Structure 1
Amino acid sequence: MTAARVGVVTFPGTLDDQDAARAVRLAGGEAVPLWHADHDLKGVDAVFLPGGFSYGDYLRCGAISRFAPLMDELIPAARAGLPVLGTCNGFQILCEAHLLPGALTRNASLHYVCRDQRVAVESASTAWTGDFTVGQEIVLPVKHGEGRYVASEETLDALEANGQIVFRYAGGNPNGAMRDIAGISNEAGNVVGLMPHPEHAVEDLVGAPSTDGRGFFTSILSKLVNA
């Protein structure tokens, strides 16, 4: 059986693309490099937007990357059902592209945060969370200065009602995110964004204190193989 192909996008300033590609391979998938200036998704089955500081976070985090040529292909593909995961800067890009509602702003402390963070799973019905269970707590690294999720009360209520809040911070909110939101999905559940980094928690050697990030990659590969 041919391995599922997951595209990993690199923008100028992306830091975690190689980590993301390695996580895909460790889960049994084929990682396909995608360059921000390309106009071709190369027929991938899913896309990962990794973290970093695309374009130096100038203007706003993700605001320039949102207009990359590759995004002209990715945005309609995501709206048509292509599974897309964005972590940290990738989450910011998804919000700037209006594939996810709300925005990520400066941490409430105005300080950069880098630590292992407990996160509660709120939804196991997305394309990227099928191997988790609702209520499960996992540990993932966070490393950001602008990770505070904000949205209007109307939007927050809609996210709650539709089951689109996928992760909440547990054991302390690292950035002041409204309603402790660590990650959300679109209504269809194929697009997910979160501030923590699952790609940094997939190997026993360097994933301590957990390898809980593996579940994101096994989830999407299982879904693609069984589709």
Structure 2
Amino acid sequence: MADVTVGVVVFPGSNCDHDTEHAVASFDGVRPLMLWHNEHDLQGVKAIILPGGFSYGDYLRAGSIARFSPIMQEVIEFARKGFPVLGICNGFQVLLESKLLEGALSRNRDKKFLCTQTTIKAVNCSTIFTSLYSEGQVLRIPIAHGEGNYFAPAEVIESLEEHEQIVFRYCDAEGNVSDGSNPNGSVKNIAGIINRQGNVLGLMPHPERASEKLLGSDDGRSLLESLFHHIAGV
């Protein structure tokens, strides 16, 4: 793989930034570059990852203050130019607040913070983030969130389905999508969505925490590898 640099944004309160840095650095030819929240220089990165955590303490609501940080002005412009942006957990929340993705996230259905292994199904493998998965593949990837209940108006959900923007759904170990396999109450069991242009993905599960077998699963590794292959032109 050709040498590429991937930006990892660090907000006050980020707690998965170094997990993400470690996962990115585990790929030959890929160099993570930590980008502080008050910077305006993206330093020539080829993709950006917004990691999980509690940006700005999740005051007001998750991701709502991070959306106005200086770095996000650059990330929004970067995305609008067609460059890849990946938002994980709190990063997904920031993408929604920034209007780079449609919908919103509310408190989990049972109003409890969830930190557990879960299973999700890859339902769109034609994206730059999922090209190394097979359609319907079941992935074991952990979640850790209190506000992961995805919802949107009916017309938005209909549009997401029509344009195949739903990328991951919560499911059971056999791949069955049901209310019982939905950990947080997300409409249609949605675990991750992509924008219409196909360059901005947000998901609640943590692929960086499932990037090597020592962590209990490496099912998240192919998501990162798919992205890195794309930006390296492999």
State the TM-score bracket (shorter-chain normalisation).
over 0.9
Deviation at 1:203, TM superposition (A): 1.7
| Equivalent residue, structure 2, for 1:10 | 10
Partner SS state of residue 42, structure 1? coil
| Equivalent residue, structure 2, for 1:199 | 208
What one-letter code is carried by the residue in structure 2 that aligns with 1:198?
Answer: P
Task: Give unmatched runs, 5+ long, in structure 2.
Answer: 173-180
C-alpha contact (below 8 Å) 1:125/1:189 kept by paired residues: no
What one-letter code is carried by the residue in structure 2 that aligns with 1:97?
Answer: S
Task: Give unmatched runs, 5+ long, in structure 1.
Answer: none
| Equivalent residue, structure 2, for 1:176 | 185
Cα distance between partner residues in 2 of 1:42 and 1:2: 18
TM-score (norm 2): 0.94
Q: Which moved more, 1:44-53 or 1:126-135?
A: 126-135
Counterparts of 1:27-46 in structure 2 under 5 Å?
Answer: 27-28=27-28, 29-46=30-47
C-alpha contact (below 8 Å) 1:12/1:55 kept by paired residues: yes
C-alpha contact (below 8 Å) 2:106/2:147 kept by paired residues: yes
Cα distance between partner residues in 1 of 2:118 and 2:213: 17
Q: 1:154-189: CA deviations, max 9, x gaps?
A: 000000000000000002111000000000000011
| Equivalent residue, structure 2, for 1:99 | 100
How many residues are treated as equivalent by the alignment?
A: 225
State the identity %: 49
| Equivalent residue, structure 2, for 1:54 | 55
Q: Which moved more, 1:52-61 or 1:120-129?
A: 120-129
Deviation at 1:204, TM superposition (A): 2.0
Deviation at 1:27, TM superposition (A): 2.1
| Equivalent residue, structure 2, for 1:226 | 233
Partner SS state of residue 144, structure 2? strand
TM-score (norm 1): 0.97
Partner SS state of residue 189, structure 1? coil
Deviation at 1:2, TM superposition (A): 4.3
| Equivalent residue, structure 1, for 2:88 | 87
Cα distance between partner residues in 2 of 1:21 and 1:125: 26
C-alpha contact (below 8 Å) 1:27/1:214 kept by paired residues: no
Segments ≥4 residues shifted beyond 4 Å: none
Cα distance between partner residues in 1 of 2:211 and 2:18: 13
What one-letter code is carried by the residue in structure 2 that aligns with 1:108?
Answer: R
C-alpha contact (below 8 Å) 2:5/2:47 kept by paired residues: yes
Cα distance between partner residues in 2 of 1:127 and 1:42: 22
Cα distance between partner residues in 1 of 2:127 and 2:75: 18
Partner SS state of residue 125, structure 1? coil
Counterparts of 1:28-177 in structure 2 under 5 Å?
Answer: 28=28, 29-171=30-172, 172-177=181-186
User: Does residue 24 of structure 1 match 2:31?
Assistant: no
